[in-house]
Amino acid sequence: MSTKVVGAVRKAFPDEVIGDHAERGDHTVIVKPGRLVEIVRFLHDDPETDMSHFCDLTVVDWPGRESRFEVVIHLHSLAAGHRIRVKTSVPAQSPVVPSITAVYRGADWFEREAFDLYGVRFEGHPDLRRILLWEGFEGHPLRKDYPKQQRQCPVPLLEDRPGQPPPFPERP
């Protein structure tokens, strides 16, 4: 079913599509980031693809690759019942992707989350700030180079406060 969708994208944007596959039945189209909004708008508006339903947006971090951050968007058509995964990659030096909030309002929070956890910036997002973590958090925890055990506390720990006795004094 969604081979048709992949074909439609290929036909409409022949220079933008880098590749496609249908592993395990999930149809995927890999595109360049530049005209992502146009591609998504085409998928949303075109009566043949009719992707009215925004499903998911996330990022996969591939530190070894030239284009480190892979933005993965899942879209769904209620009328036709097909799904498509749109992937695009951006390099670590300039992790900027155009925001698709103008097409799907629901992408707003998902993009904020991706920015929060991966540090990918979404250009044109109306209000790009952290969502799950607090303002002032250092780093982006879902990047592969962020150590899992690293501690950051929004409130200073008792033992770190100057002039405070240790919370549990040792027995004499």
Partner 1 sequence: MEKYEEKDLLLGSEPMKLNMGPSHPSTHGTVRVVLQLDGEIVRSSDAQVGFLHRGFEKECESSTWNQVFPYVDRLNYASPLLNEIGYALAVEKLVGVDVTPRCKVLRVILGEMARIADHLVCLAAMSMELGAFTPFLYLVKTRDWIYLVFERVTGQRVMHSFMRIGGMKCDAPDGFKEEVLALLPRIEVTIRDVEALLVKNRIFIDRTVNVGCMTAERALGYGWTGPCLRSTGVDYDVRKAEPYLCYGDVRFDVPVGTNGDNYDRFQVRCEEMRQSMRIIRQAFDMLPPGPVQLDLPDVSFPDKQDVYTSIEGTIRHFMLVMEGGRVPAGEVYSATEAANGELGFYIVSTGGGSPYKMRVRPPCFANIAALSEMIDGGFIADVVPTFGSINMIGGECDR
**Interface residue list for partner 1 (CB under 8 A):** 23-24, 26, 28, 52-56, 58, 60-61, 72, 74, 78, 81, 83, 85, 104-110, 113, 117, 130-134, 141-142, 146, 148
Closest CB to partner 1 among residues 17, 55: 55
Is residue 71 classed exposed, middle or buried when 0-12, 13-18 and 19+ CB atoms within 10 A define those classes? Answer: buried
Closest CB to partner 1 among residues 22, 158: 22
Closest CB to partner 1 among residues 33, 44: 44
What is the bridge-based pairing of β-strands 121-123 and 69-76? unpaired
Shortest distance, position 161 Cβ to partner 1, whole Å = 23
Q: Measured in whole angstroms, how far is the alpha carbon of residue 1 from the centre of its chain?
A: 26
Shortest distance, position 170 Cβ to partner 1, whole Å = 32
Shortest distance, position 78 Cβ to partner 1, whole Å = 5
Shortest distance, position 160 Cβ to partner 1, whole Å = 22
Taking the C-alpha atoms of residue 70 and residue 137, their distance in angstroms, rounded to an integer, is 23
Taking the C-alpha atoms of residue 128 and residue 41, their distance in angstroms, rounded to an integer, is 21
Instruction: Identify the bridge partners of residue 76 per DSSP, sorted by sequence position.
Output: 53, 83
Closest CB to partner 1 among residues 9, 59: 59
Closest CA to 139 of 157, 123, 115, 156: 115
The letter for the amino acid at 165 is P
Shortest distance, position 12 Cβ to partner 1, whole Å = 22
Q: What is the CA radius of gyration of the chain?
A: 21
